[in-house]
Structure 1
Amino acid sequence: MSNELIINSTPKGDRIALLQDKRIVEYHIEQSEPQFSVGDIYLGTVKKLVSGLNAAFIDIGYEKDAFLHYHDLGPNLNSLQKFSRDVMNKKGKNIKLENFKIEEEIDKLGKIDKVLTRNQLILVQVVKEPISTKGPRLSCDISIAGRFLVLVPFSNGVNISKKITSKAERSRLMKLMSSIKPKNFGVIVRTVAEGKAVEEMERDLRDSISKWEDGIAKLVDAKPRDRVIGEMSRATSMLRDLLNNDFDNVIVDNQDLYNEAKGYVHQVAPEKEKIVKLHTGKTKLFEQVGIEKQLKMLFGRSVSLPAGGYLIIEHTEALHVIDVNSGNKSNSEEDQEATALSVNREAAKEIARQLRLRDMGGIIVIDFIDMKKADNRKLIQDIMRDEMRTDRSKYTILPLTKFGLMQITRQRVRPEMNVATHETCPSCGGTGTITASIAVSEIIAQHVEHLVTKQNEKKLTLLVHPFLSAYFTKGFPSIRMKWFMTFKSWIHITEDSSLGITDFKFLNHNGDEIEISS
């Protein structure tokens, strides 16, 4: 299976697509100045204590106060608070966690107002980004994620991922991490660490400790609402979590992002540095790789299945509902049970992809086509479990009921991804009336004549919808060829399916858009 990470830079932020075998499985949009991302650590201020919820609301600079439950304080809150105060009070220039005396753990069943007070400064980490009308969700159980391990300050334990099942490997990793980790730092070994050499594990540990120490150095002069430790960019964090021997390409169309990605890969896996490539072609990156078309087809209310069935996906405040329909598949199998099984198998694979692609979280209810045989229902559950194995979010899958319903809970830490699949009509602008859209070719021809003869533009490029591109370039002699014979200038025509069918743009020889007066 091939894996590719495609990163397109836009004025509004970066669009990031993860492809497996050329099919998009994850899609993210990162704002130009990301804030309140999962993993960010802030110096917050306790604004309100709510005894009924056993929680506090913390001001970290978001428009709504962030939520911190007692259970998310972590057992070592007292150690975190004392260490933070010592650093901010500058009691010694080099305060090291290794030399710090760990305080007594807080009561697991305690009350929030017994450990926190209003206007108190507190170091917190974002565990869930702002979603809908809710502010960020916070934790005081600080952790620093690395490529092979997660560093947990104020702890001394070593935990191994449950997905590493080999006793010998678990024992090796336990002994290794216990011998190299510093005092007062706990470690959670990630699944990807299986079989990794001592040098790689040690380098990753040093990088995580360095990140912690840099943040603590910032804490000395930090003010309330300041971000002390920032999570790496979404693209780099995906590389950190996903980069392995199966990764084929990381393609970027921005020089700064290219340098960042290449620098990170060089740091963690120098042998994979060649997979990072800079896209310099005239065709838009998402257009060239075929992502633009996939996005428009995959984010609608209705999603087609390869053999004729389709899904209907509805979102509500409480849950997501997915309905599986057979469509024109209904007459292609021997009997109703065979048809239901065939469509449900395809649907299970596509639904697992959709959950990851749209980053749908909370409760998901799937209405599969009814099947009478228990073995077939068990098979669909097994397929869903296998397909979701690569999902990085935590999830639980319940068996199909006799009514064909499957319930899934999936952790949501970021706002659900959505892409507009309905466009305002480019001809009428949403008014419902069209004025001479058939004349668009004549309008373009008039602009070509003006730009070439009046403005003396050389190497002109015309961006149009694929339908218009075919209209201008097909046939003999084509319209473009007629332009060449008339104006003695070749017009480059580029397809861009993100444009409306009657939209068009002109680019000059530098690739800059030419303003066209209507």
Structure 2
Amino acid sequence: MKQLVVHHESEWTQTALLENGRLIEFAAERVCEHGTAGSFYKGRIVNVLPGMQAAFVDIGLKKNAFLYIDDMLPAHLDKQPKSKPSIEQLARRGQQLLVQVTKEPLGGKGARVTTHYSLPGRYIVFMPEADYVAVSKKVEPETERVRLKSLGEHLRRSGEGMILRTVAGGQDDATLGEDLARLRRQWESIRESAEKAEAPRELYRDLDLAERMVRDVFDPGTDELIMDDALQREKVCAYLERMMPGVQPRVSMYREEAPLFDAYPVEHQLHRDFGRKIWLPGGGYLVWDQTEALTVVDVNTGKFTGTGDSLEKTVTQTNLEAAEEIARLLRLRDVGGIVIVDFIDMQEEGNRTRVLQCLEERLAKDRTQSHIVGWTKLGLLEMTRKKVRESGAGLFHEVCGACGGTGRITLR
């Protein structure tokens, strides 16, 4: 069973997703600083850089947004030119265009924007100009994927595209059609606003954090939603009624004196899971080091001495526990960029395959796309994970003024 716990206070909204009492996802958002990912803007191109095949776009934020040439070409590969044109052929200074934020400003970088528009609904991600239908790889069996693909082709209009989400499995054409119609109305409103607006201007803002989490991870048939703010609860319930009319979700109002995150308990797990050293169930541990673009995880046997009669079994057992925990922590910490895992050396190729399969299976539950590159010549596991928003826990930390984030200070 999953529980979505939403804590709201004057400056913050924080959400925690628990599965059988274990924390698997955490997000936070400042009330006064709504996230920009997914939002639409009427922007003005302020600079075109042929050497980078990109343009900078003023969308009204502190830093100009970055628009790469691939995000200006047609979304459908079959409609793209055989040879990539120069950015100067597609963009000019002063040009106004409709863009959508795909990656929020992080660190010193501005937002990443695209002209490949998409609007997520409960069952469908609507892509008004993509001209293709895709089905989530997590939908099973294959016959259901084929049915959804056929249904999507039937529902879409010429030039439109869509992705049928995992929760679309088992839904009928009426339910999916209602979701699509709602997204079409949203898109028409955005497009009409863009025609009238003068850049830079925000045209459409994605849902706030609590509503996004309800849309993306909450199953009203089996999951429980616990909230501690009456106004936020009313807002979320109204959203649920619009998205899934007639459904009676399990929504609880928390009224006890103890803080919500202490009662479930989220706070304790956050302190444990965001440390540099994370213990594994069997006695091994992980050492977790993160930079702006690279995360390194070192696996150690620690106190685990094994239950088998060989070192290979002991090492493999530790690595399997580590693979499962790393997949959970990547999702929980919302890590992005390159990830290098230094598993303990295994001699047998079959054990290396088992560890890799374990990691792949656990990563399949993650909503964010990951790609496992494989083992390097030095025996390290290399992978990448997409980054969209700043980590929720990262909002509560700042770089130490004494050491500058290195963990060391100069003695002389």
TM-score, scaled to structure 2: 0.89
Alignment CA distance shift 1:34-1:247 (3 Å): farther
Alignment CA distance shift 1:353-1:175 (3 Å): closer
Instruction: Tell me, yes or no, if structure 1 residue 361 matches structure 2 residue 361.
Output: no
- How far off is 1:288 after superposition? 1.0
- How far off is 1:129 after superposition? 0.8
Instruction: Provide the residue aligned with 1:43 in structure 2.
Output: 42
Alignment CA distance shift 1:407-1:194 (3 Å): same
Instruction: Tell me, yes or no, if structure 1 residue 350 matches structure 2 residue 348.
Output: no
* Secondary structure in structure 2 of the residue aligned to 1:407: strand
Aligned residue pairs: how many? 396
8 Å contact from structure 1 (residues 262, 273) kept in 2: no
Instruction: Provide the residue aligned with 2:63 in structure 1.
Output: 64
Pairing partner for 2:314 from 312, 334, 339? 339
Instruction: Tell me, yes or no, if structure 1 residue 265 matches structure 2 residue 264.
Output: no
Instruction: Map residues 474-489 of structure 1 onto 2, 5 A cutoff.
Output: none
The runs of at least 4 consecutive aligned structure 1 residues that moved more than 6 Å come to 104-107
8 Å contact from structure 2 (residues 28, 393) kept in 1: no
5+ long unaligned stretches in structure 1 = 78-103, 425-518
- How far off is 1:311 after superposition? 0.8
Alignment CA distance shift 1:291-1:161 (3 Å): closer
Instruction: Provide the residue aligned with 1:295 in structure 2.
Output: 270
Please tell me whether Structure 1 or Structure 2 has the larger radius of gyration of its CA atoms. Answer: 1
CA distance in 1, matches of 2:389, 2:134: 26
- How far off is 1:107 after superposition? 7.2
8 Å contact from structure 2 (residues 123, 165) kept in 1: yes
CA distance in 2, matches of 1:416, 1:285: 21
Alignment CA distance shift 1:108-1:414 (3 Å): farther
Q: Which segment drifts farther, 375-384 or 159-168?
A: 159-168
Alignment CA distance shift 1:167-1:383 (3 Å): closer
Instruction: Tell me, yes or no, if structure 1 residue 24 matches structure 2 residue 23.
Output: yes
Instruction: Tell me, yes or no, if structure 1 residue 202 matches structure 2 residue 177.
Output: yes
Give the number of the structure whose residues are more often helix, by fraction: 1
CA distance in 2, matches of 1:156, 1:131: 31
CA distance in 2, matches of 1:307, 1:214: 55
Instruction: Map residues 103-114 of structure 1 onto 2, 5 A cutoff.
Output: 109-114=84-89
Percent identity over the alignment is: 33
Alignment CA distance shift 1:180-1:378 (3 Å): closer
Q: Which amino acid aligns with 1:7?
A: V
* Secondary structure in structure 1 of the residue aligned to 2:101: strand
Instruction: Provide the residue aligned with 2:410 in structure 1.
Output: none
8 Å contact from structure 2 (residues 306, 313) kept in 1: no
Q: Which amino acid aligns with 2:24?
A: V
CA RMSD of aligned residues (A): 2.5
* Secondary structure in structure 1 of the residue aligned to 2:223: strand
* Secondary structure in structure 2 of the residue aligned to 1:280: coil
Q: Which amino acid aligns with 1:249?
A: E
Q: Which amino acid aligns with 1:29?
A: A
Alignment CA distance shift 1:340-1:156 (3 Å): closer
Deviations 1:9-65 (A, max 9, x none): 122220111111111111111121344522111011101000001100001122111
Q: Which segment drifts farther, 114-123 or 217-226?
A: 217-226
Instruction: Provide the residue aligned with 1:477 in structure 2.
Output: none
CA distance in 2, matches of 1:107, 1:124: 24
CA distance in 1, matches of 2:327, 2:289: 16
- How far off is 1:330 after superposition? 2.6
Instruction: Provide the residue aligned with 1:99 in structure 2.
Output: none
Pairing partner for 1:128 from 103, 116, 126? 103
Pairing partner for 1:242 from 214, 217, 222? 217
5+ long unaligned stretches in structure 2 = 401-412
8 Å contact from structure 1 (residues 30, 234) kept in 2: yes
CA distance in 1, matches of 2:146, 2:312: 48
TM-score, scaled to structure 1: 0.71
CA distance in 2, matches of 1:183, 1:388: 35
CA distance in 1, matches of 2:52, 2:360: 35
Pairing partner for 1:141 from 106, 109, 116? 116
Instruction: Map residues 357-436 of structure 1 onto 2, 5 A cutoff.
Output: 357-401=332-376, 403-418=378-393
- How far off is 1:364 after superposition? 0.6
- How far off is 1:333 after superposition? 4.5
8 Å contact from structure 1 (residues 378, 400) kept in 2: no
Instruction: Tell me, yes or no, if structure 1 residue 6 matches structure 2 residue 16.
Output: no
* Secondary structure in structure 2 of the residue aligned to 1:293: helix
Instruction: Provide the residue aligned with 1:444 in structure 2.
Output: none
Q: Which amino acid aligns with 2:67?
A: L
Q: Which segment drifts farther, 277-286 or 135-144?
A: 277-286
Alignment CA distance shift 1:306-1:271 (3 Å): farther
8 Å contact from structure 1 (residues 38, 129) kept in 2: yes
8 Å contact from structure 1 (residues 361, 416) kept in 2: no
Alignment CA distance shift 1:129-1:247 (3 Å): farther
Alignment CA distance shift 1:166-1:252 (3 Å): same
- How far off is 1:332 after superposition? 5.2
8 Å contact from structure 1 (residues 265, 273) kept in 2: no
Instruction: Provide the residue aligned with 1:159 in structure 2.
Output: 134
8 Å contact from structure 1 (residues 36, 130) kept in 2: no
* Secondary structure in structure 2 of the residue aligned to 1:329: coil
Q: Which amino acid aligns with 2:270?
A: L
Deviations 1:196-228 (A, max 9, x none): 111210110111012112223433543323211
CA distance in 1, matches of 2:298, 2:334: 18
Q: Which amino acid aligns with 1:4?
A: Q
Alignment CA distance shift 1:108-1:199 (3 Å): farther
Instruction: Provide the residue aligned with 1:323 in structure 2.
Output: 298
* Secondary structure in structure 2 of the residue aligned to 1:283: coil
Q: Which segment drifts farther, 386-395 or 264-273?
A: 264-273
Instruction: Provide the residue aligned with 1:55 in structure 2.
Output: 54
